[in-house]
Structure 1
Amino acid sequence: MSGDERAVLPGALTMRSYTSAFVTRLTERNRLPLDYSVASLRLVDLVVDGLRRDQPRRDRVDGILLGLGAYTGEVIVRRAGGVWVDFDPAQRELFHQTVGVRMPDGRVWNPLGKVVNRFESGSEESVQRLYLSLHGRLARRKAVCG
């Protein structure tokens, strides 16, 4: 994957297929257990840490970071009841991404940016902690409703 993959990142409607193709490519070569579970987000953190250690220039790993961010977002969609959304111009400016995830409570999250932040800032950023801190997860809503 190349650093120019950012230019071809799909919109919200095709994020699921983009993520699926990314996971297939990544797991064929590396046998990573990316099974869309919440627990697998810890593995995303570890993979990003490895990229940081091995290739500190972000432009060399941008495509992988975006794929891992898409995977993180898809876990949120599947496990927490979020939906992929295209960011409006103000959100694009704020998040430096074109897509994100809207939760059932209406809040918008930026999993792609969170993965980039992990790469740039290190262990103080975590996609696993992002998931655990999400407000409006489907599980919480179900608990409140019944």
Structure 2
Amino acid sequence: MSVVFRAVLPIPPSVNESLQPVRLPGGALRLAHTAEARRWASKAHLLLLTVRRPTELRRGPLAMRLKVHVATIASDGGNRLKLLEDALVKARVIGDDRQIAEWEIVKVVGDGEPRVEVELRQASLAEHPELAQRLAIAENKQGKRKAGRS
């Protein structure tokens, strides 16, 4: 299937730069996004809102291709994935990050400004029947919950 969504975003901060422990009342610890992660997410959200977001990407299994342009070989492209997936959901490009059935990550070193090129397409239902079935069940349950609130 052909690519139905393309966007170029600033490179997300790594997991190490995007999460910090926060002590809750009572002494328990949890992880929260850093100020840097929140700034990136806000900027990515605004950029994604300017790109055509086809509604067909909000259902069914998806394939995502990332071309991560980094300054040095030491930079890890894979540990930047979660913030990017969350931004795609928040901007309603995709319905849920659980839809992503295939990931392809290409690292490009020293090619100008650090950035990530995102491409999405619908994945083959035949190649991912179990995921397609589970997504349909989850979507049905969510629809029933929304209908119950009306």
Superposition TM-score, scaled by structure 2 size: 0.34
Higher strand share: 2
Q: Which has the higher helix share?
A: 1
Higher relative contact order (CA 8 A, sep 6+): 2
Larger radius of gyration: 2
